[in-house]
Structure 1
Amino acid sequence: MSGQSEVYSATRDTLFSKNNTPDTTHALTLEWVYGRTPCLPVLTLQDLDQQVVLYAAANVGVIYNHTSNSQHILQGHSRNLCALCVSQDKRWIATADPSPMVLVWDSYSGIPVCTLCDCHPKDGLTDLAFSQDAKLLVTLGTGQMQHVCIWDWTNDAERPVCCLDLNPSHGFQKHIVFNSSGSELLSCSCSHVLLYSLEQKSLSCFALRLRKGGGQDTGRSGSMCAADGALVQTGFHWSEAQVLTATTGGSVVVWDVSEGATAQKDKVSVCHLQEAPFTVMTVTDSYLVTGDTEGTVKFYGRQFLLLAFFPDMNLDPVSFISFSSEASAGLLQDCPIRKEELFIRNFVASCSGPQVVHVNAETDEVRTLLDEEPEPIHALCCHPSRPLLVTGNNGGLLKLRDAASKRTVSRRRFGAQEQITCVTYDPQGVLLAVGLSSGCVHLLDSSLHSDPHSDPQDGLRFSRHSIALLSFSSDALHLAAADDGFAVTVFRRVSESAAWESLGRHRSHFAPVRSLLFGLQLDSTQPRLLSLGQDRRLVEYDLECSSGPRLSLLSTERVEQRAVPLSMSWYPPLSTEQFILLSTDQYKLRLINSTTLMSRKLILGPTYGSPLQRVQVLPKTKPEQSLSYYMAFTTRDMVGLQILPADGNPFRSQVQIAHPSGVSSLSAAFDGRHVVTAGGADCSAMSWSVSTQALEAAAALGGTHMQPFYTLLDGGRHGHFFREMEDFFFYIQLRHQGTWTEQSRQICACIPLSEVSTMMRAAGHFPTEQEIEDMLNEVKFSRYADTGRYVTELDLEDFIKLFVNHRPALRGTTEEELEQAFRLLRGERATMEREELLQLLQSQGETMTEDEVLQSFSSLLELSEDHSPDRSPDRTPDRTPDRTPDLSPPTGSKSAVPAEVSLETLAQILGFSTASDSPPKDVKKPLPPH
């Protein structure tokens, strides 16, 4: 094994000469990124044998080799990138996110070499740049009070060399650069240019102020000059002691700074060069280079004489220009303006539109490197039998991509005001349904041409609301659509050669529809359709009896009592029963019998920052491909993989940060080897390679049998909580057999099913009556499909699994739940009357009898017959073994509850802490007996 550093031994050809096989150490590996962040530059890295560029996409940096059509992805940020830059020699890359964190990478090997954390702890940063020798890195903060920090990143410094606070009156500085000596810097806002001087770890600045129209400058803060428009960018003159600044009026402002910070206003001049507004300006070699709103790049020499220009690159305004560092890249012999030899480097220009082009200065050849529209991507779908991917964006552009070659096969644009909200293939991959924000659905063939049996102009128009979900039946003869108006519409095709007709429409939910799912009737090939809404209702539609404008309903079932369902999918055939899998906002997975719609199991889902928003079981191309099934899922900003069957084991899932601004869509490839996510607002989509072996290995490291579940208990297997559970387990047996008995006790390893709810409450989980019923049904029918017998008892290990799956996934949120529940009861009032509270408990929700209410308050207030408010606390109770305990509610229960109940009062009664420092004084709690 060589001890030489990979960074030290790397060369320009190292990165893409590596074996680019997917990493099998993670369950999901980012393999390809579609799209880019349009507000950040595209920077050239290589330009001779290979054309390599760097750009940002969501939270990753992408080194793209256009010659070999390959990517190397720089992963390390948890938030979307806000700035990136490269050194003059193209060796070092710096990327930054708003956390704020800066990573410095070696572009030759793709390895991170330095991390700067909390660079600008208050507000993050907006730009950064290397010095000419790449030894220093400057970061420009954001926020109301901006900061400029200089970092000596080569010495692993944890703190900057120096910092400077900027005056907010100088405007928001958005661009910063070093000069060639590294002792001076420039930054620019729309109204001011700041000139910085770096001397012996000390940084100072001088403001070059501009005002439209000119006038007298009576202050000493800087120089002033008339300028036409806002400032765009600034830079140092290549040979003179001057600062050059481009404006939106097509002018360049020149400051003479030969005397440093003593520049006077009479040494400032403005040169009007063109009518089109400048959008970008930079200085390279011996030229001033500008880009404008007409998509033209121009080169100016001394005295701002136009030497060369490139007008025919594209029609969009130029946003960024990046030049090659190779000395032999670009030699223009013929100057169209002046008859002399000019040396102009090849460059890459990115625009406000989709195109990024490479310009060969010698041949005037313009080559498109990237063509990705800067529009949010909310819709994507993988082909069910071929390596094809369809994406749709908010600009109405539909793209068909080859997932193997990563090339765009075809495209189709809808109306300018149309946003593509969802796309889906039929099971055979013949038809593609496209949902639009206008409420229209278009049916296309696999090449994105209109289906001959649908109207190519209007499509299927049936709603004024945006289409949210689309789903085909297995025979592709039915198409269901859900819109933002909470309605479901079904279309039917009588035969393959017939047009589509409406089967009916029904507003079956009163909250957004989260999932739309076709299946097959039991022991039949007839399709069945189900929809799941945030209103907690699972609706099944009667497709056979539906005709005309109204869609008939077959059944409506409330599937959750408190949780909000977020997604639905068919569970794979892992048992003799057929299940529907639901995910909820309480980090739970619920299995529902597809025939009876009865809840059969509640499982703790992955807890990675947010609940599961989408789930999809990965398809299998061969039955013997694996003994297990796998489920891809997304949270708010992550994508993950889980082993099925789900059992609550936290080690059977893994996640990766996908889109920090939010995942908008998920789709799995036909062979189950890739999953693709869309990021919506970040204008990107990501393809992830699946490694089930890595996931299985990670699950094995988590332990076998009960070990993973013990880790979910406070203190683990040998902790105090587990010992308490063991004690409770035997106390329950004593309670079940009777406290007072002279018969010999039979202690066993199980408790009867009827005592599960008592055991749950003793362990600290207080389920509702409905949750208790679901819990008992889960245990009772757990083996019925296989053995035909009910389960009537369970042991401690089974109870621990039941407990960790059913208790709240995130503890410590009870105060918020209590406040929300009390707000629902009292409305806008601060308090509620005692009689009103007691009446609500007996009439709303899971109602309680009067005896149950009184008994509950007696227990909560520690009242008993022996020391209730109606009795003396000094009285010694008469306790004999033969006496039967009196469980009737004490007469003082009601009087112990205050007449006016506030949130603090209720929290004290229930034993919760509140934000109030002093406890309420209105609860009449008796003194303990002497």
Structure 2
Amino acid sequence: MLKISLETSPKRRMSDAEENPLEETEEYGEIEMEEGEEEEEEKYPNDEELENMQQELKEDNTLAWRGSQEEGEAEGEEAEGKEEGEEFGKEEAAGAQEETTVKPQEITKSMISLERLTPTDSQSVLSGTLPKTYSGRESKHSLQSELLETLELPRSMASQLEFLDLDLTTSAEQQLSSSEKQPLGELAEGTDQRPQDELGQERRHLEPERGDLEPEKREGRKEKRVLYVNEKKEKEFQPKASIPKVSLVSTATEDILFQKDDGANVYPLAMTWSFGWNSSLPVYYIQDENQRVLLYASAHTAVIYDVFKNNQHHLQGHLNVISCLCISENRRWVATADKGPDCLIIIWDCFTGIPVHTIFDSCPEGDGIRAIAITRDAKYLATISDAEIQKLCIWRWTLAVETPACTLNLPKEYGFQSYLTFNPTNNKELVSNSKTQAIYYMWYEEGDILVHSAPLLTEKTFNKLVGKFSQSVFHLNLTQILSATMEGKLVVWDVYRPLLSASTSLGFPHITPCKLVHLQKEGITVLTTVDSYIVTGDIRGNIKFYDHTLSIVNWYSHFKLSSIRSLSFSKTPATPLTENTNYPPDCTLKGDRFIVRNFIIGTSDASVYHLTADETKLEKLFVEPKDAICAISCHPYQPLIAIGSFCGVIKVWDYEQKKYLFSRIFEKGLGVQSLTYNPEGALLGAGFTEGTVYILDAMSLESEIPEPFKYSRTSVTHITFSHDSRYMATADVSFTVAVYVVRVKNGRRVWEYLARLRSHRKSIRSVLFGVHLDSNEPRLLSLGRDRLLIEYNLLKSYKDHLEVLDIQRTDQSSYPTCMVWYPPLTKELFLLICNSGYKVKLFNSTTKMCRKTLLGPVYGSPIEQIQILPVKTPLELQKRYMVFINRDKVGLQILPVDGNPHKTSALICHPSGVAGMDVSYDGRYAFTAGGQDRSVVQWEINLSALEAAVSLGGEDLTPFYGLVSGGREGKFYRELEDYFYYSQLRSQGIDTMETRKVSEHICLSELPFVMRAIGFYPSEEKIEDMFNEIRFSEYVDTGKLIDKINLPDFFKVYLNHRPPFGNTMSGIQRSFDILGFTNSNGKKAIRREDFLKLLQTKGEHMTEEEMSDCFATLFGLNPEGWKSEPTASSVKGSEICFEEELPDEITAEIFTTQILGLTISQDSGQDPTVSEVERSA
């Protein structure tokens, strides 16, 4: 009897599920093969021959990873493996074995089927990941954990690299020590060689083709893995051809990345293009010759860009902005690291775009990674953290370990180390530098010992000014290190390397300053080596080549580039000198031809160039904004997007063709803050950081007005046009709304300034034009953080006078964040306003009455901007969608909003903050601007995927039960039912002897009492909003007011109105910080007299009687409660002595625990919440 264990480890289970994405992942325990095996042998007369073929093939492929084992390995393990191979041949002949190679289109299914599995530790990866979308109401912590789970998922396939095929691995093979496993890092140095020692060879075996599997037979896959008793099925699943199945990584070539089909988009939002790049990081030259492929970072994504095909592949997986990246010598393995909470280090295969290894918690005590380097053979990785006390770590990443091989804490006196590199000829040596000090490291791998030398260098060392260090490299041939400075000099360090055995007597390896070479006048920003040259790039854009004696060989200074940030040379050697080549002469006395590889230049102004050494041809590949991007706008009927930057540039792109069209550079000091096309698409309004407003021609960016408008002294944050393009309104940082109007003069349309008004006390969040339903005239509204919604009377406004028509307050506590017209899904016209309390409110456009309050998307921060997705056909008018952004995410919401958490989905788009958002005219794409990360991302919208998530979430109240503790059968919901029906008893009289009337409803007057009984304490204004929401819910359709509510509707009203995170201590403490004083203990407190006065004079005023009755109930003097029962009355309220019951000074903790009787619960990583506890009378 052979037992196949399916629960060996989490890594094992994930690998199995990756092979069988449709198989139930809850299947654990053991599957036994007993007597059926003998019967199976009789049914297959050719099994023996098939076994032999499979066994030979398996043994041949197993040799690749067994090569590191000693020749005298125990024969018991070999026999056991052979026996298992024979059993495998029988099982596979029955067509039971599944494929081990995961096809791209199967990755998504694997991910879905594995979401319930326990994540594993840092491991190697064989399959790529797609951006994880977050559906439903989740906290920031849950968002990050789900994205980490997405990264962990393909890591689990490391077992396919190390153990070939887990289903066939014997117990002895699973117990191989790490020293017996072949390391992943022994990579081939040639560009066309694959690291077989690293990745291993998977067993190539016979198996049935998936195309022959019928749907009904796939459902029974669990049984088919063991044996098949049906003769017809046995023949049907018989292997047809011996097609070897191997991993995509092990068989990939360098040109496969842009050829493979990633399949249909199964996510609501998928990145399709990234505009802009992080010019503070290097750009790498991956491929030359027939393809010109680059690698660079854009926000939290690494981009592989094919210049000739104008195509991008995005390496997505980081939660934070990428802080550093490096690439191996053969341009295949890329390591990226980020800086921030939950930082990651990810190693990617550039040939396939697959993350092969992820390191989690690489810097738990710091904020991420500052510098990273990889050895020439790609076996080892080194990182320097971004913490106050920096740490150098060396990782054996090819062994799939989760801890570094060795670490070294760097003293603060060394300065902040920002650059790191390995010795290309010795992967046990490294050098790093800060602005003031260089450090040399020697790693003794045998004992994992890391020693370092950091001699202090001052001006007295050479009696000359040295300057600040920029970068350091190892000398080409000599035992020296070179450090470049911003004074144009090179510090030459001699490296002393005693043998390890002699280190005690002769000292440890160290460096000493040898000499200071003044190479040039300009500060050196880049220092690197290629072939036999030492190469520098400086702040003036010059690129110079030196030989090993530091004698200059050649330079490029006539290109007039800005400061050089990176130089990356092609991995392809330079073309040999022939009659057809045209290399320039060098500057030596011999005048030999200067032969060097082609290379990529990255400059500080975010420009990337390619230099062809033959003929000295410089090509500009792309130029991106070098400053923050906050303004984007999509054309109303063409696939155009305008992008504005703080550097004063407006660029227009065709986002379907991914083609740059035209641009305009404004004078220095003008930074573009806001952009908007008018409804006809003929004009582009632009607001600038110093208050100037331009009206431009949309197709040429030429000014449509003789002089720009300069009526503001602060940045213009909003700009919008009326539906007929007669009016244009702007808002600025100084809380002012300005209006411009079109006049007809001499037969020409001329834009003129009308009026401006400082109508708000705090920042303006939205400026919105609308249409009067009766006259088709434009109407203008503004919304401020001061909670005021203001409508202006444009018809009665005149020169220098902007008439205000109406002012309404939108909220009591939370402040509004954005506003948009709600689509006509009902007979009423609403304004949709989002606030900082994660709520979405609908206001009647005429009366400004709050008609509905709903729970909005909850993704770590409130919504900051929303747009309604345009419809393509009239049939889509009743099915509308909303795109939104918050602090760092972009998401989709299905309308109408009803609080269903499954109707929304979001993902991280700009970790450092989203500055703006817009949608294409056809609703196919959304665009987000990243502000300081200098990027704009284009997202493809897939509404079918969002609808699928909603259908999976359930109907009616099913999606809402998950929003309360315990769900439908939990204690909370049971208590809610009890309170609901007890409320019916109260309304009929507690002591009545009449027959009770059973009903499914309660009257509206009981709603506040039930709300407070279950722990939600709404203000009187919020109660009035609830009453209006219920009363007028059917008024438009029936003309009747509603005066009662049933339990399901009450449950929804409760979920939509309550605070999404409960009552938090931070909210209570914030009130005391504003109202209180600092007492002798350093805490914010309120004096007893002031506390009682505030309750009677501020906010919703309490009368003295109401206040006394409330305190009597809180202190247990009136158990019945103030007016809680119709027949009850306060017996102690008027007699309460506040001096005895209340302390002299009241802090937030005293108010919460002693007065209100609530308990403070501490959740790790979250804001403390307060909840009710049982009080004793």
Q: What TM-score bracket applies, with the shorter chain setting the length? A: over 0.9
Verify the 8 A CA contact 2:414 2:434 in the aligned structure 1. Answer: yes
Verify the 8 A CA contact 1:132 1:182 in the aligned structure 2. Answer: yes
Partner of 1:203: 450
Partner of 2:1097: 843
Partner of 1:218: none
Matched, 1:336 2:586: yes
AA of the residue aligned to 2:459: K
Residue pairs, 1:406-485, within 5 angstroms: 406-452=658-704, 454-455=705-706, 458-485=707-734
Deviations 1:346-397 (A, max 9, x none): 1111111131111111221111122112110011111111111111111111
* Deviation of 1:64 (Å): 0.8
> 646, 660, 673: which one pairs with 1:394?
646
Deviates more, 1:730-739 or 1:492-501: 492-501
Kindly tell me: are residues 264 and 696 of structure 1, through their superposed partners in 2, closer, same or farther at Cα, counting changes over 3 Å? closer
Verify the 8 A CA contact 1:612 1:635 in the aligned structure 2. Answer: yes
Q: Find the aligned partners of 1:885 and 1:639 in 2 and give their Cα distance.
A: 53
Q: Give the number of aligned pairs.
A: 892
* Deviation of 1:8 (Å): 1.5
Partner of 1:493: 742
Matched, 1:624 2:624: no
> 469, 486, 489: which one pairs with 1:248?
486
* Deviation of 1:678 (Å): 0.6
Deviations 1:537-564 (A, max 9, x none): 1000001111121100111011111110
Residue pairs, 1:147-158, within 5 angstroms: 147-158=391-402
Verify the 8 A CA contact 2:1072 2:1086 in the aligned structure 1. Answer: no
Residue pairs, 1:262-661, within 5 angstroms: 268-328=514-574, 333-337=583-587, 338-340=590-592, 342-452=594-704, 454-455=705-706, 458-495=707-744, 497-625=748-876, 627-661=878-912
Kindly tell me: are residues 415 and 258 of structure 1, through their superposed partners in 2, closer, same or farther at Cα, counting changes over 3 Å? same
Residue pairs, 1:121-136, within 5 angstroms: 121-123=364-366, 124-136=368-380
* Deviation of 1:412 (Å): 1.2
Q: Find the aligned partners of 1:112 and 1:486 in 2 and give their Cα distance.
A: 48
AA of the residue aligned to 2:458: R
> 84, 94, 97: which one pairs with 2:325?
84
Matched, 1:52 2:52: no
Q: Find the aligned partners of 2:1127 and 2:949 in 1 and give their Cα distance.
A: 56
AA of the residue aligned to 2:585: C
Partner of 1:663: 914
Partner of 1:906: 1151
Q: Find the aligned partners of 2:457 and 2:398 in 1 and give their Cα distance.
A: 37
Q: Find the aligned partners of 1:167 and 1:890 in 2 and give their Cα distance.
A: 66
Verify the 8 A CA contact 1:330 1:362 in the aligned structure 2. Answer: no
Verify the 8 A CA contact 2:286 2:570 in the aligned structure 1. Answer: yes
Kindly tell me: are residues 335 and 368 of structure 1, through their superposed partners in 2, closer, same or farther at Cα, counting changes over 3 Å? same
Verify the 8 A CA contact 2:585 2:592 in the aligned structure 1. Answer: yes
Matched, 1:120 2:120: no
Verify the 8 A CA contact 2:679 2:723 in the aligned structure 1. Answer: yes
Verify the 8 A CA contact 2:1105 2:1134 in the aligned structure 1. Answer: no
Verify the 8 A CA contact 2:282 2:565 in the aligned structure 1. Answer: yes
AA of the residue aligned to 1:849: T
SS in 2 for 1:545: strand
Verify the 8 A CA contact 1:84 1:96 in the aligned structure 2. Answer: yes
Residue pairs, 1:523-922, within 5 angstroms: 523-625=774-876, 627-813=878-1064, 815-827=1065-1077, 831-864=1085-1118, 885-895=1128-1138, 896-898=1140-1142, 900-903=1144-1147, 904-907=1149-1152, 908-913=1154-1159
* Deviation of 1:304 (Å): 2.0
Partner of 2:31: none
Deviations 1:28-55 (A, max 9, x none): 1111111111211001111111111111
Matched, 1:72 2:313: yes
* Deviation of 1:245 (Å): 2.2
Deviations 1:858-901 (A, max 9, x none): 11111139999xxxxxxxxxxxx9x9644454443234533624
* Deviation of 1:5 (Å): 1.5
> 427, 437, 443: which one pairs with 1:182?
427
Q: Find the aligned partners of 1:354 and 1:674 in 2 and give their Cα distance.
A: 26
> 191, 194, 198: which one pairs with 2:436?
191
Deviates more, 1:381-390 or 1:485-494: 485-494
Verify the 8 A CA contact 2:574 2:595 in the aligned structure 1. Answer: no
Partner of 1:221: none
Matched, 1:11 2:253: yes
Deviates more, 1:143-152 or 1:387-396: 143-152
AA of the residue aligned to 1:650: P
By percentage of residues, which structure has more helix?
2
Matched, 1:232 2:470: yes
Q: Find the aligned partners of 1:803 and 1:856 in 2 and give their Cα distance.
A: 23
Partner of 2:409: 165
Deviations 1:633-669 (A, max 9, x none): 0010111111010000111111110111110101111
AA of the residue aligned to 2:256: T
* Deviation of 1:819 (Å): 2.6
**Normalized against structure 2, the TM-score is what?**
0.73
AA of the residue aligned to 1:187: S
Q: Provide structure 1 residue ranges, at least 5 long, that are not aligned to the other structure.
A: 216-224, 869-880, 917-926
SS in 2 for 1:820: helix
Deviates more, 1:511-520 or 1:858-867: 858-867
* Deviation of 1:812 (Å): 4.3
Verify the 8 A CA contact 1:333 1:340 in the aligned structure 2. Answer: no
AA of the residue aligned to 2:426: S
Give the share of equivalent positions with the same residue, in percent.
Answer: 38
Verify the 8 A CA contact 2:494 2:512 in the aligned structure 1. Answer: no
SS in 2 for 1:546: strand
Q: Find the aligned partners of 2:800 and 2:920 in 1 and give their Cα distance.
A: 36
Deviations 1:605-624 (A, max 9, x none): 01100000111111112222
Partner of 1:214: 461
Deviations 1:110-136 (A, max 9, x none): 011111112222222211111111011
Verify the 8 A CA contact 1:35 1:683 in the aligned structure 2. Answer: yes
Deviates more, 1:2-11 or 1:334-343: 334-343
Verify the 8 A CA contact 1:425 1:433 in the aligned structure 2. Answer: yes
AA of the residue aligned to 1:29: A
Q: Find the aligned partners of 1:580 and 1:867 in 2 and give their Cα distance.
A: 40
Q: Find the aligned partners of 1:288 and 1:582 in 2 and give their Cα distance.
A: 60
* Deviation of 1:760 (Å): 1.0
Deviates more, 1:478-487 or 1:253-262: 253-262
Q: Find the aligned partners of 1:530 and 1:867 in 2 and give their Cα distance.
A: 45
Kindly tell me: are residues 887 and 866 of structure 1, through their superposed partners in 2, closer, same or farther at Cα, counting changes over 3 Å? closer
Q: For the aligned residues, what is the CA RMSD?
A: 2.4
Kindly tell me: are residues 693 and 203 of structure 1, through their superposed partners in 2, closer, same or farther at Cα, counting changes over 3 Å? same
Deviations 1:202-222 (A, max 9, x none): 21112244322426xxxxxxx
**Normalized against structure 1, the TM-score is what?**
0.92
Verify the 8 A CA contact 2:452 2:509 in the aligned structure 1. Answer: no
Verify the 8 A CA contact 1:330 1:360 in the aligned structure 2. Answer: no
AA of the residue aligned to 1:336: D
